[in-house]
Amino acid sequence: MPARTAKQLPSLHVFSGCDVPWLLEQQARARPSKTFLVWEPFEGERRTWTFSQFCEETRAYAAGLAGRGVTEGDFVALHMDNCPEFLFAWFACARLGAVAVTTNTGSSAEELEFFVSDSGSTFALTQPKYLETIRGFAHRLRWIACSATNAGSTAEHPRPSDVVPFEELSADPGKAPPRKAVPTQLSHVQYTSGTTSRPKGVAWTHANALWAAKVTTSHAQLVDSDAVPVFFPLFHANALAYTVLPTLWSGGTAVLMPKFSASRFWDIVVRNRCTWANMVLFTIRALEAFPDPPEHQFRFWALLAQLPIVRHRWGIPFISWYGMTETVTQNIHSFLDFETPPGVIGHPAHEYEVAVRRTDKSDAQPGETGRLWIRGVPGLSLFLEYLNNPEATNDAFDADGWFDTGDEVSLDENGHIRFVSRAKDMLRVGEENVAALEIETVINRVEGVIECAVVGRPDDMLEEVPVAFVVARQPCAELEADIMARCTAALARFKRPREIVFVDELPKGLLDKTLKRHLRSRFQS
């Protein structure tokens, strides 16, 4: 359920009577022969699907899932890297009223089992490289389905006989069960790092997915002639909500890649005449090291904040935007074709209420830095809830229904908003948000550790990487190895500390609170 203080979804709203399958069917009828999806694997055959063909594929997989017992309200874990099968399964679940639980493929076995058990997933779809990890807790699942390849590359071992071949989930599309549109029903859950020791399941409704599709289309002024490369993981909102769903809404083309590859980027986007891209700092830094193409079709890129190099080197206009999984799409953005100062993330989006507040909750003034708060409607413009965690859901909102982003921003005299820092104890590692507390909880369980604190060390490519400062009974190489081994077993790759620094004590302030700014200062040159 939404937070007690949050706005209530009205009985009549913009997506009344609509859901994700409704959007698929609309576009299949309007643009049956227009290419919607292009698959650009690094190994294997390039393929394309028109809107009509893609729609038919999702019907076929819905029929196959239903034939194997998936029904409305079931939770289905999707543990897959980028591939067409991911999208077929995600949209097939939407057709059945099942809930796709999209999990980070960098997760450890311990994290993944938590995602499955916390969500109550009873089915899992995966790829060969992750199969043995999932089979380790098969007792929680009715069945596991596995694709034939790893995002196009050949699997090293044959599928075990107790695993369902993914291709056998495709059945007669005409047997897909009919379903009445329920926009308030859950569409998917994504586990995301927060300030707790465990990730939280951010639950979206069908109306949330449609909101992401329509609003992002408006902010980016997308049209049906647009094409976008999709290289961020589909299990993140950055790929699903910022590229795939708005491309479906606008009638454009999504060019799916297994992952970001700086060496392949220009070849793929030029061949497919891509017109825009959603970027982050590390993708731009990576492209700086490679030759530029003689020409390209980009009309803009999007990023958190303006970077002059994008226009100066590649001649590409830029829009900046800000959002998070809980806020569905962009709450702040700049205006395409209008000048925006470097470092600015934009102005408040008109679809949301945006506030920048001092610690006493009064409004910050130009020149000040304050906490960013967003107000919208849970289940429509904001996430519905943290799955199975009503306390965390309620704690995320204030008494007037404003959602606390945990980020700090500043205002200037022209109303521009600039991102300053994460007020919550979060690290930004490449495209991933990482909770320091989650890493600290793992390290503190290691015998011999008295206490620890994790902070971000600046990194040229990834923005920052985790470093752990540890107070121990007997600091030694063996203890460092034990800490690293425990982190390897319990944490995703991107969460693991890059360095263990033993210290005699942690800097403390009032109420015994660790002064992490003192630890971060060690990295300053």
CATH of the domain at 472: 3.30.300.30
Residue type (1 letter), 307: L
Q: Are residues 275 and 337 in the same domain?
A: no
Q: Are residues 475 and 395 in the same domain?
A: no
Residue 372 has pLDDT above 90, yes or no: yes
Residue at 326 is within a domain: yes
Number of structural domains, the chain?
A: 3
Task: Give the domain-ending residue among 374, 390, 424.
Answer: 424
Residue 96 has pLDDT above 80, yes or no: yes
22 falls in which pLDDT band (50, 70, 90)? very high
Residue at 82 is within a domain: yes
Residue at 8 is within a domain: no
Residue at 2 is within a domain: no
The pLDDT score that the predictor gives to residue 408 is 87
**pLDDT tens digits along 149-195:** 999 888 878 889 899 999 999 999 999 999 889 999 999 999 987 65
The pLDDT score that the predictor gives to residue 343 is 81
Q: What is the mean pLDDT of residues 404-430?
A: 84
Q: Are residues 34 and 105 in the same domain?
A: yes
Q: Are residues 351 and 379 in the same domain?
A: yes
512 falls in which pLDDT band (50, 70, 90)? low
**Nearest 10 degrees: CA dihedral of 91, 205, 151, 438?**
-160
CATH number, position 269: 3.40.50.12780
Average pLDDT, the chain: 92
**pLDDT tens digits along 279-328:** 988 888 889 889 999 999 999 999 887 778 888 899 999 899 999 999 99
Rounded Cα–Cα distance for residues 386 and 393 (Å): 5
The pLDDT score that the predictor gives to residue 507 is 86
Chain centroid to Cα 414, Å, comes to 31
Q: What is the mean pLDDT of residues 233-238?
A: 93
Main-chain dihedrals φ then ψ at residue 171, nearest 5 degrees: -130, -170
Rounded Cα–Cα distance for residues 199 and 113 (Å): 12
Residue at 6 is within a domain: no
Q: What is the mean pLDDT of residues 232-255?
A: 96
The pLDDT score that the predictor gives to residue 445 is 86
Residue type (1 letter), 285: R
Place of tokens 């991911």: 86
The pLDDT score that the predictor gives to residue 415 is 87
Q: Are residues 39 and 79 in the same domain?
A: yes
- Beta strands 99-102 and 186-192 are parallel
Task: Give the domain-ending residue among 298, 329, 346.
Answer: 298
Domain range holding 436? 426-523
Residue at 68 is within a domain: yes
Q: Are residues 255 and 387 in the same domain?
A: no
Q: Are residues 208 and 355 in the same domain?
A: no
Assign 123 to helix, strand or coil: strand
The pLDDT score that the predictor gives to residue 419 is 85
Residue at 13 is within a domain: no
Residue 511 has pLDDT above 60, yes or no: no
Lowest mean pLDDT across 9-18, 87-96, 438-447: 438-447
- State the alpha helices, DSSP H only, in 409-465: 436-444
Cβ atoms of residues 89 and 100 within 8 Å: yes
Place of tokens 């939770």: 75
Higher pLDDT, 413 or 231: 231
Task: Give the domain-ending residue among 248, 274, 298.
Answer: 298
- Per residue, the 3-state secondary structure of 480-512, as one string, reads HHHHHHHHHHHCCHHHCCCEEEECCCCCECHHH
Q: Are residues 371 and 409 in the same domain?
A: yes
Q: Are residues 188 and 56 in the same domain?
A: yes
Cβ atoms of residues 407 and 419 within 8 Å: yes
Percent of the chain with pLDDT over 70: 97
Q: What is the mean pLDDT of residues 130-148?
A: 95
Main-chain dihedrals φ then ψ at residue 145, nearest 5 degrees: -110, 145
Q: Are residues 454 and 477 in the same domain?
A: yes
The pLDDT score that the predictor gives to residue 423 is 62
Rounded Cα–Cα distance for residues 340 and 319 (Å): 8
Residue at 80 is within a domain: yes
Percent of the chain with pLDDT over 90: 74
Q: Is 315 left (phi over 0), alpha (psi -120 to 50) or beta?
A: left
Lowest mean pLDDT across 146-160, 243-257, 320-334: 146-160
462 falls in which pLDDT band (50, 70, 90)? confident
CATH number, position 382: 2.30.38.10
Q: Are residues 113 and 193 in the same domain?
A: yes
Higher pLDDT, 173 or 423: 173
Rounded Cα–Cα distance for residues 236 and 246 (Å): 15
Cβ atoms of residues 282 and 262 within 8 Å: no
Q: Are residues 168 and 26 in the same domain?
A: yes
Cβ atoms of residues 372 and 405 within 8 Å: yes
The pLDDT score that the predictor gives to residue 509 is 61
The pLDDT score that the predictor gives to residue 513 is 67
